[in-house]
Every structure is written in C-alpha cells, then in structure tokens.
Amino acid sequence: MRKRWFSLAVAGLLAAATLVPATPAMAAPTFKVPFPCGQSWSGQTRSDHSPAYAVDFNRTDDLGDPVVASAPGTVDRVTDLGGTSYGKYVRIDHGAGYTTYYAHLNGFNVSVGQSVGYGAVIGWVGSTGGSTGPHLHYEQRLNGNDIQVRFNGALALYWGTKTYTSDNACSSGTASGTVNTAGADLTVRSGPGTGYSAVGSVADGARVTIYCQTSGSTVTGTYGTSSIWDRIGSGRYISDAYVNTGYDGYIPNVPRC
Ligand SMILES: [Zn+2]
C-alpha cells in the first residue's frame, strides 16, 4: 500500500506540474510614438548614446511640446535629478517587466501612482539635466535593461535618424482632464457658456472625461482666459479655463461638439 500510495502521489504531482504553465511568455505592450496623434518627430539613435538603444526626439520649436505615454501603465517615477543625467524624468511601469523613460522634461503633468492610458500627457519637452538643447530622450526597458525601441512592434532605425509619425490615441476620441478651481466647486452648464443654466457641479481636483470641445463664452480661470468649453456628459459643459488637459487650446483627437 505504501508503494502504491507513493506512486499515486508522484503521478498527482506530475499532473499538477503539466497543468501549471511555466513562466508565461508575456507579450510586450504595443508601444506608440510618445507624442500626440498625427505629429511627426525626428528620432535619432546612435551607438555612443547612453543607454545605447535610447531614442532622442526633436522637431522644430519643440520646447514645451506635450509628451504622452507610449502605452498604458502606472507612473512609478517622477524625479528631478537637477542639472545632471535625465534631469526631470518620468518612468511608466507597463507590467510584465516593461518600463519606459521620458527624460530632460521641462515639467511634469503626472504624479507617482497615477494610471495613464495611451496619449495621456505626462510632461513637456525640455532641456533639463545633462542636455544641451530641447529634446525628448526616450527609452524602453525590459526588467531594467535597455532594449531596442519598437513602435507598433516595428523596430526603430538602428543606427540613424528617421521620421516617426504618431498614431498614439488617434482613435480614442476622448481625453481626460483634472478640474482645478483652487477650492470651489465648478459649475456645470447645460451648454457651452455662462449664460446656460447650471445643471450641477464638479469638485476641485475631480477627474473628468472630455467627449468633445466647442467654442462658447470666454472665461478667465485657473489656466488663463479661454473660450473653449468641454462636454463632460450629455448636456453637461464646463469651461476649459479650469481644466488641466495638458494642452493649451483644443486637445488633439477630441472632436468638436
Ligand atoms: Zn538621449
């Protein structure tokens, strides 16, 4: 009986082992060019870059241009190294060991722990840290190791300079924003203007989904003076002057109402 029991136990272990997969091969995220939909940027790779597979992005007058998440994930670093190295940089954790780095930023539009989707503005192009002119230094890493950059699965040019056109969040059609009134609730109107009836309010700091934008009455708010109104629901509009969308003016990819 003892022998038989042992055999059955071993058989059971073997069956369990075959049912439990070994470390599953996790697919790489589909990374997109880290700029808004439709924009074309010159991306340079060079063998003396540090790390070697990083891409430096430029376009004309790029200082202050929005930088967006190249895939969904969780922001796990928002760090300012001062006048050295990356300067102001953001790291996004995409899961399965994949991370992306966005360095030399002018400023941050995210905080640690924040979930981001495709096209979310994480900061703006700058020249902070060990940089001699505005550009975005961009990296993809797997388990902490620098890997060759891919967009939509296609390998970047190694080595050289190539134009990359973004299809990042082109089809989303919506954006998210954060209401900032510095305290008070923000009145929601039935149409794009202060003359429309109040139909509710949103709290300072609330995240809103913006379905479309349109022109309405001019409002001076936390982010300056704007005539843009954001539709955040059916028959629900708020002034864009109080919403941090990461953009001055209209948001790329969000339709006009
Ligand atoms: Zn670089």
User: What is the tens place of the pLDDT at every residue in 16-44?
Assistant: 444 444 444 567 899 999 999 999 999 99
Architecture of domain 40-165 in CATH? Answer: Distorted Sandwich (2.70)
Distance (Å, whole) CA 236 – CA 213: 11
Q: Please tell me the distance between residue 46's alpha carbon and the centre of ligand 1 in angstroms.
A: 9
Ligand 1 is an ion; residues with CB less than 5 A from it: 54, 56, 137
Bridge partners of residue 243, in order along the sequence: 179
Q: Please tell me the distance between residue 130's alpha carbon and the centre of ligand 1 in angstroms.
A: 9
The phi, psi pair for 140, rounded to 5°, reads -115, 135
CATH number of 175-244: 2.30.30.40
Q: Please tell me the distance between residue 148's alpha carbon and the centre of ligand 1 in angstroms.
A: 14
Question: Could you check whether the bond before residue 51 is cis, i.e. omega within 30 degrees of 0?
Answer: yes
Q: Please tell me the distance between residue 123's alpha carbon and the centre of ligand 1 in angstroms.
A: 16
Band of pLDDT at residue 173, cut at 50, 70 and 90: confident
Q: Higher pLDDT residue, 54 or 176?
A: 54
Q: What is the pLDDT of residue 95?
A: 96
| pTM (2 d.p.) | 0.71
CATH 2.30.30.40 in the chain is located at 175-244
Q: What is the pLDDT of residue 18?
A: 43
Statement: residue 145 has pLDDT above 80: yes
Q: What is the pLDDT of residue 148?
A: 98
For residue range 118-131, list pLDDT tens digits in order. 999 999 999 999 99
How is residue 169 written in tokens?
């969040």
Statement: residue 211 has pLDDT above 50: yes
Supply the DSSP symbol for 102: E
What percent of the chain is predicted at pLDDT more than 90?
A: 81
Q: Please tell me the distance between residue 176's alpha carbon and the centre of ligand 1 in angstroms.
A: 29
Q: Please tell me the distance between residue 104's alpha carbon and the centre of ligand 1 in angstroms.
A: 9
Task: Tell me the mean pLDDT in the region 209-228.
Answer: 95
CATH 2.70.70.10 in the chain is located at 40-165
Statement: residue 248 has pLDDT above 90: no
Name every residue whose Cβ is closer than 8 Å to that of residue 174 and which is 6 or more positions away in sequence.
209, 210, 211, 254
- CA diameter of the chain: 88
Task: Tell me the mean pLDDT in the region 55-63.
Answer: 98
How is residue 81 written in tokens?
């190294």
- What's the length of the chain? 257
Band of pLDDT at residue 15, cut at 50, 70 and 90: very low
Q: Please tell me the distance between residue 197's alpha carbon and the centre of ligand 1 in angstroms.
A: 51
